């Protein structure tokens, strides 16, 4: 029988077994999952993009009225 795959929790680094018994995977717990979600919402995490590409599409939308 093969050894279960183990990964590190992205938030705290704890080992997590990658299996149905770990419903929050790749996180070790719901708490670590929510901490990571909060970091994305606070823009502490970001996916790198191309500024030039962002500029190309920014003119497609009309200015918002407040």
Structural domains of the chain, with CATH: 6-56 (3.30.50.10)
Residue numbers in the known binding site for Zn(2+) are 9, 12, 28, 32
- Token code pair at residue 51: 């500024």
> Residue 47: its pLDDT value, please?
82
Task: Report the largest interatomic distance among the alpha carbons of the chain, rounded to a whole angstrom.
Answer: 63
Whole-model pTM? 0.64
**41, 30 contact by CB (below 8 A):** no
> Residue 58: its pLDDT value, please?
61
Q: What is the pLDDT along the chain (66 residues), one digit of tens a residue?
A: 678 899 999 999 999 999 999 999 999 999 999 999 999 999 888 888 666 655 666 666 667 777
Provide the strand spans (E) within the chain.
6-8, 15-17
The span from the CA of 5 to the CA of 65, in Å, is 52
Residue numbers in the known binding site are 9, 12, 28, 32
The span from the CA of 9 to the CA of 4, in Å, is 15
> Residue 4: its pLDDT value, please?
85
């Amino acid at each position: 029988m093969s050894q279960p795959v183990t990964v590190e929790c992205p938030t705290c680094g704890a080992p997590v077994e990658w299996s149905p018994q770990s419903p929050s995977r790749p996180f070790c717990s719901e708490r670590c999952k929510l901490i990571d979600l909060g970091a994305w919402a606070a823009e502490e995490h970001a996916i790198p993009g191309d500024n030039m590409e962002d500029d190309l599409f920014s003119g497609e939308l009309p200015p918002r009225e407040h």
